[in-house]
Amino acid sequence: MGWNQAQAREQWVRPANAPHALALGQLPREAQHTLALIQQGGPFPYAKDGIVFGNYEKLLPQRHRGYYHEYTVQTPRSRNRGARRIICGGPRRTPDLCYYTHDHYASFQPIAQ
């Protein structure tokens, strides 16, 4: 399934009050860089980049374990990984869809591509 097909499917199953998709240009520069690394297959700056995201908050559509992977979005002036992440579902280098969170999984915005 391609990116647009998955994005359309997700829009259909998302609640009506879910946020609209972010255009690539609306993301912070660091998130744009992380997306480029995902499409290249790395290398990633953090050891935990690419690990399975469990979706324990259940804010993303339910999928089988291992479908979602998380990647760190660098936070300027942060001493650790910070709170910003990109979560992608599907194949690692060609994900079906990705989400951005700036608040460590408290909310997600789909990324349009």
Q: What is the CATH number of domain 3-111?
A: 3.10.450.30
Higher-confidence position of 95 and 7: 95
Which of 100, 94, 68 shows the shortest CA–CA distance to 5?
A: 94
pLDDT at 107: 93
Q: Is the pTM of this model over 0.85?
A: no
Mean pLDDT of 57-78: 94
HSE (side-chain half, CA atoms, 13 Å) at 64: 1
User: Is residue 43 reached through a cis peptide bond, with omega within 30 degrees of 0 on the bond before it?
Assistant: yes
pLDDT at 86: 98
Q: Give domain limits for the chain.
A: 3-111
pLDDT at 5: 40
CA-to-CA dists, residue 54 to 1, 41, 84, 112, angstroms: 22, 21, 16, 22
Catalytic residues, by residue number, are: 70, 104
| Tens-place pLDDT, residues 8-54 | 344 334 444 556 889 999 999 999 999 999 999 999 999 999 999 99
